[in-house]
Amino acid sequence: MDHVMEIKIYYEDTDCGNVVYYANYLRYMERGRTEYLADRGVPVKALMDQGVLFTVSRAEIDYKSSAHYGDTIIVETLLPEITAASLLFEHAMKEKTTGRLLVESKARLVCVGADMKPKRIPKDVAERLRGK
């Protein structure tokens, strides 16, 4: 199961070449993951209140094409892997009008407690993310 969201590109998102600044795609990945979790009944704020945090341990981004000021991009988020203590998210970002692929990316998130030490993903959270 995946999640799809739109992001409109504003001037503040771009660099002096009028293209989306490369690091902003990390922010778009984060938004996609946050909305993915919320749509499955696992809002980040509720997790934080329980002392369950997810920290990025690895991020990979392959830039395919540039987005520009005024574009709208589609962020597709998938969760193909859940382990005892980590989540692997995959993202594809496309320009809305043309469908042109902009970015393919992955991010591994590790579950940690408030003490920032790794811990198992709570069973109820894992079940909701698996759709059970």
Q: Would you please indicate which residues are annotated as catalytic (active-site) residues?
A: 15
CB 124 within 8 A of CB 112: no
Match 């392959």 to its residue by tokens.
62
Most distant CA atoms of the chain, gap in Å: 47
Q: How far apart are CA 18 and CA 16, in angstroms?
A: 5
Q: How far apart are CA 11 and CA 131, in angstroms?
A: 38
What's the token pair of residue 1?
């199961």
